[in-house]
């Protein structure tokens, strides 16, 4: 058919064919950044709805999804760049900095590692917990002691535990792992490549600034990145203060091959904002 094509006997213009291909395969990405998104920011959408649009947007992962959602991701050809846990292992306030939690946390993570591996994933999120009057040094020692108990099993199952850096100034009062230097020192104390940091750009801009310099200095301890507009944790466009293309360029220049997860709360149409965020980070 001159100037067009037919799919299932229905004539289509070349433009329609290209549009259909892009919807099925996703837009052509530059390949320097692997794009993910955190499901919790899109609670107005079911996981099925978000997953059905992911590749069209340019995503290859939806993260912070528990075991119950993994079949949906697989159905849509997506991975989970950072699986989430349940129970005590999902608590931001009660974590590895309290030895009273260690036995339960070790049991939960050791039970989860084989399932994560079987699903084809290689990471899992974890948290320090709140200070509750504890010194940063004692908290670091406690975190390292608890995490060391899991490193042999993490190595066996090819799982890297990713401890999130959160701000304790605005969103998570009293959270202990709130500075990159503390997190890096804790990783050194554990002494394993199976513990890394989640460098949340939004949180660390609030706590310490110097985002690009910090990434360059501590990149070997960072296993995952999250985005978010500052202030407000909304869109990462011109409405906020961070230069995300420059930050993505700095991340790429460190040799990072993991994922960057969009973790902002959209104020506009969620999928339009998510598409924009991915495009901004696709340097």
35-281 is a CATH 3.20.20.150 domain: yes
Report the candidate in 186, 178, 95, 202 with the shortest Cα–Cα distance to residue 137. Answer: 186
β-bridge pairing 222-226 and 195-200: parallel
Beta carbons within 8 Å of 275's beta carbon, 6+ residues apart: 57, 58
Whole-angstrom distance between the N-terminal and C-terminal Cα of the chain? 39
Cα angle 46, 50, 51 (rounded to 5 degrees) comes to 110
pLDDT in tens, the chain (283 residues): 344 444 344 444 544 433 444 444 467 899 999 999 999 999 999 999 999 999 999 999 999 999 999 999 999 999 999 999 999 999 999 999 999 999 999 999 999 999 999 999 999 999 999 999 999 999 999 999 999 999 999 999 999 999 999 999 999 999 999 999 999 999 999 999 999 999 999 999 999 999 999 999 999 999 999 999 999 999 999 999 999 999 999 999 999 999 999 999 999 999 999 999 999 999 9
- pTM of the full structure: 0.90
- Quote the crossing angle between the two packed helices 270-281 and 47-57, to the nearest 10°: 40
Residue 126's pLDDT is 98
Outline where the chain has alpha helix (H). 14-25, 47-57, 70-75, 102-118, 136-156, 180-190, 201-207, 211-218, 244-253, 270-281
Q: How many Cβ atoms sit within 10 Å of the Cβ of residue 146?
A: 24
pLDDT of residue 22: 45
Report how far residue 152's alpha carbon sits from residue 191's, in angstroms, rounded to the nearest whole number: 12
pLDDT the model gives residue 230 = 98
Question: Nearest-5° angle of CA 24, CA 29, CA 32?
Answer: 145
pLDDT at 4: 43
């Amino acid at each position: 058919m001159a100037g067009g094509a037919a799919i299932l006997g229905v004539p289509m213009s070349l433009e329609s064919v290209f549009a259909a291909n892009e919807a099925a395969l996703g837009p052509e990405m530059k390949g320097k950044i692997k794009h993910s998104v955190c499901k919790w920011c899109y609670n107005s959408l079911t996981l099925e709805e978000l997953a059905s649009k992911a590749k069209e947007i340019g995503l290859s992962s939806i993260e912070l999804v528990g075991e119950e959602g993994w079949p949906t991701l697989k159905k849509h050809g997506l991975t989970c760049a950072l699986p989430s846990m349940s129970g005590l292992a999902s608590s931001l306030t009660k974590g590895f900095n309290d030895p009273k939690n260690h036995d339960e946390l070790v049991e939960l993570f050791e039970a989860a590692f084989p399932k994560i591996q079987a699903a084809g994933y290689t990471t899992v999120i974890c948290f320090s917990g709140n200070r509750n009057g504890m010194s940063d040094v004692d908290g670091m020692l406690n975190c390292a002691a608890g995490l060391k108990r899991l490193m042999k099993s993490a190595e066996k199952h090819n799982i890297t535990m990713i401890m999130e850096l959160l701000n304790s100034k605005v969103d998570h009062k009293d959270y202990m792992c709130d500075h990159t230097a503390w997190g890096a020192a804790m990783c050194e104390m554990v002494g394993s490549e199976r513990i890394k940091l989640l460098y949340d750009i939004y949180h660390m801009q609030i706590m310490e600034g110097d985002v690009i310099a910090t990434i360059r200095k501590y990149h070997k301890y960072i296993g995952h990145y999250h985005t978010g507009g500052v202030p407000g944790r909304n869109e990462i466009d011109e409405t906020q203060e961070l230069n995300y293309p420059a930050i993505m360029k700095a991340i790429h220049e460190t040799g990072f091959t993991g994922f960057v997860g969009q973790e902002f709360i959209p104020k506009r149409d969620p999928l339009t904002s998510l598409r924009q965020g991915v495009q901004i980070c696709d340097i």
